[in-house]
Amino acid sequence: MTTEVQNVQNDGKDGASSSTVAHSYARPPVDIAESEAGFTLFADLPGVSKQDLTVRVDGDTLVIEGILTAPTPERMDLIYGEAQFSAYRRQFTLSRELDCSKIEANLKNGVLKLTIPKTEEAKPRRINVALS
Amino acid sequence: MAILFRPESEILSDLERLQSYLQQASRFTEPSDIRANPGATFPVLNVGNTPDTVEVMALAPGLDPKSLEITIDKGLLLISGVRKSELTELDQRVSVYANERFSGGFRRVVSLPEDVDPANVQANYANGLLRVTLSRRESSKPRRISVN
């Protein structure tokens, strides 16, 4: 079962699609926090614009992919390159209590924020103790 | 024997520290500038040369462009600023499972060649990518001298 939250469809002018381009991948750093309502995930994806970002859930695996586009002038010689990759990819295994159909994704200034709520049944519930 | 009674979180944090030391040590296998500090890994930099400009690209997501400080002084390009962690803005009762992203103050320095004109610099920030374009002085570009 695949739920696509956002889609990468990058058809080149000569008909080549992005899946035929070989990328060197970097693992983006993430911050993950869990609250009673669900999970919040922040990922650093600098250089990725909304159309080059893919967030999808395959079964219980969350996959985050993005393609780095950095406009560079034509005749540039790289003399110092700490970043020599062209794409980001990271995946996570989600637990079953998460409601994957309600994931919210927000991309701003290269930071992806994902909010993954828990299903209603999985949220902690207080049980009232009756005194008899 | 004492190690048996250490809480699990302490052992894991030692391993994490070891892992981050190893990551930083393996990052710079090429000879690097004397000012390049292996501990300063945010933002990640690429520097390139074109015939007319020097291009500096920094991977710096999540910054407010107005809080970025970019200065040129004595042939050095300095990029500095502060990045706040989004985790501190969440509810206090969250459990944090991963805190890999950099937060805090940062400072990166790039030494520039002599022919860069400090008055002719442009900076652009989009999608978390900071690009600084420094143009070279007109007078220092190669000139063809014709022979009479």
ipTM given for this complex: 0.74
* Domain count across chain B: 1
Does residue A76 belong to any structural domain of this protein? Answer: no
Distance from CA of B27 to the nearest CA of A (A): 8
pLDDT of residue A20: 53
The domain in which residue B48 lies consists of 39-88+101-139
Q: How many structural domains are present in chain A? A: 1
Which of A40, A44, A90 best tests the B interface by mutation, with the highest count of B CBs <10 A?
A: A44
pLDDT digits (tens, 9 = 90+) for A26-75: 889 999 999 888 999 999 999 999 999 999 999 889 999 999 998 888 88
Distance CA B126, CA B61 (A): 9
For residue A18, give its domain range.
Answer: 2-71+82-119
Q: State mean pLDDT over A78-101.
A: 90
In this complex, is the C-beta atom of A93 within 8 Å of any C-beta atom belonging to chain B? no
The DSSP-derived string for chain A is -EEEEE------TTS--GGGS---EE---EEEEE-SSEEEEEEE-TT--GGGEEEEEETTEEEEEEE------TTPEEEEES---SEEEEEEEPPTTB-GGG-EEEEETTEEEEEEEBPGGGS----PPPP-
Q: Are the beta carbons of A83 and B46 separated by less than 8 Å?
A: yes
Asked if B129 and A42 come within 8 Å (Cβ–Cβ), the reply is: no
Q: Which of the residues B83, B127, B133, B141 would you substitute to probe the A interface, choosing the one with the greatest number of A C-beta atoms within 10 Å?
A: B127
> Would residue A132 count as lying in a domain?
no
Residue A15 scores a pLDDT above 80: no
pLDDT at residue B11 above 70? no
User: How many contacts, defined by CB atoms under 8 Å, are there between A and B?
Assistant: 122
Q: In what order do the strands lie in the sheet with B129-136?
A: A77-81, B44-49, B53-59, B129-136, B116-126
Report pLDDT for B28: 52
Of A42-56, A115-129, B95-109, which range is least confident? A115-129
Place of tokens 């995930």: A41
B-facing residues of A in 34-73 (CB < 8 A) are 34-36, 40, 42, 44-49, 70-73
**Is B10 a domain residue?**
no
* B43 part of a folded domain: yes
By Cβ distance, the residue of B50, B60, B99 closest to A46 is B60
Q: Amino acid identity of B44?
A: V
- Is the per-residue pLDDT at A13 higher than 90? no
Residue A40 lies in a domain: yes
What chain B residue is nearest to A35 in terms of C-alpha separation? B94
Residue A17 has pLDDT above 80, yes or no: no
Determine the average pLDDT of the residues in B66-75.
Answer: 91
Cα–Cα distances in angstroms (integers) from residue B111 to residues A129, B38, B57, B71, B79, in the given order: 69, 16, 14, 12, 12
Contacts of A72 in chain B (CB under 8 A): 48, 55, 57
Residues of B in contact with A46 (CB under 8 A): 43, 59-61, 127-129
Mean local confidence (pLDDT), B34-62: 80
Q: Decide if A25 is inside a domain.
A: yes
From chain B, pick out residues whose CB is under 8 angstroms from the CB of A29.
100-102
CATH code, A66: 2.60.40.790
Task: Note the pTM of the prediction, 2 decimals.
Answer: 0.73
Q: Is the pLDDT of residue B33 over 70?
A: no
